[in-house]
Structure 1
Amino acid sequence: MISGSMAIPASNCCSSTSLLEFKNYFSYCNYSKRFNSIINCNAKNHEYKVPKLEPFSRSKFERAVKDPPLIQKSESQIADYCSVLEGEDSYSCWQAYFELKELEKESSKEEVERLIIEAGGVKSLIGCLHGVAAIHKAHKEASNAQASDEKKAKGERERKIHVHVPDGLPRSAEEIEEDEKSMMPDSSFTRMLRHRGKHPAWYSPVPDHETD
C-alpha cells in the first residue's frame, strides 16, 4: 500500500482496457449492422421506382407498331386539343388540322416532320400551319396569275401572227406540180377513155375560166 493513493492491480488495468475495446467494437458492429439494414430497407423501398427498360433487341416492326408515326401522332394531338375548344378557337384549330392533312399531300414526309419538330407543341404547331398554308395559298395564286398572263399573251401573239388566206385564189405553179407528182400514173385504158370517152349525163365539166 502507498500512502495518499490507491494502487490498481495490473490485472484490473488490463481487464478495463479490454472492456473498453470490446465496447467500441460492439458499438461499431451495431452501427454497421444498422447502416446495412438501412441500406437494405432503402433498396427494398425503392425497388418499385426503378423503371424497367425495354430490351434493345426489339425489332423495327414492333417499334413501328407500338409507336405511331410522328405525323399521325400530331394529328391525334391536334384533334384532341380541338375537341376541348369552342367558338373561333375551335374553328381555327380544326382548320389547322385540315391544313396539316393538305400539307402532308403537297410536301414530303421529311419536311412535315421537320415542321412538327421545330414547332415544339400543339399551340405553336397550329400557328405554324396557318402561316405555311397562307404562304402556299399566296404562291398558288401567284402561279395561277402568271399562267393566265402567259396564256393571254400567247393568244395575242397567235392572233397577230395568223394571216387569213381568202378562198378562190388561183393555185401557184408549185402547188399544181406537187399535185401532178402525187397522182398515180394513168393506165392505157384510162388514157383511151380520157381522149375518146364521153362524160356521163350527171357530170358537168368545169368551165375554162374557173380554176377550182
Structure 2
Amino acid sequence: MDVADEHPTAQVFGTDLSPIQPGWVPPNVQFYIDDVESDWMYDADDAFDLIHTRVMGGSIGDWDKFVRQGFAHLKPGGWLELHEPESWLTSDDNTKDMATYTEKFQTKCIEAAEKFGKEINLAHTHKQRLIEAGFVDVRDDVIKIPVGSWPKDPRLKEIGRFWLEHLIGGVEVYTLGFIGQILRWSETECRVLAAKVAEELRDRRNHLYVNLHVICGRKQS
C-alpha cells in the first residue's frame, strides 16, 4: 500500500494464501488469494516491472521454480527483489552463547523445515539462484538488523524494537507449527520453549542481531 501511495500511476498486486488484507486500500492496489508455488496464470500483457517478496523462508519448497517464474513474468528491464533474513541469530560478542533456548529453537526449526521440505536457511543461496535463472546486475546486500533496543545508535535502537516484536510474534507460530506439528512436540513443550526464547530476546544483555539479505536482479532489456 505504501508503494501504491508513492506511485499512484502504478498498478500494484499483492498475493497471499489467506484473506488477511485490510478492506481500505489505495485505488491502484488489488489483493488476490493465491499460492505463488502454483503455476502463475498471468497473461503476457500482465508482465511486471517489479516482483517483491519478503521473509518467505519456510513457505516455498521449490525456490528455483519460483525464481524462474518470476523471470518469465517480468518485463525486459524489470526487477526481482527478495528480502530474506538468515534463520540464525548471532552476535559480535559472546552473548549469543547465553541465549541457549534461542539456539535450541533455531536448531529445531531448521530440522523441522528440512523434514517438511521447505527449508528456511536459504537466504545466502538466492544470489546464485538468480544468476542461474538468467538475471543480470545481481546483488546481495547484507544488512545487520539488531534484535531489541540494545544498540546505542538511536536509529538502530528503533529498528531493533520493531524487529524484536516481529520475531517474538513469529516464535510461537514457528514453534507450534514446525516443531510441534512436524517434530511432534506437545503444545505445552512448544509454549514453554517459545516463552523462554522470548525472555532471551528481550534481555538487553544479549546483543543479538540477524543478517538480512536483500537480493535483487534485473531481466536484461
User: Could you say whether these structures have the same fold, taking a TM-score greater than 0.5 normalized by the shorter chain as the test?
Assistant: no
More helix by share: 1
Which has the larger strand fraction? Answer: 2
Larger radius of gyration between Structure 1 and Structure 2: 1
Higher relative contact order (CA 8 A, sep 6+): 2
Length-normalised TM-score, structure 2: 0.23
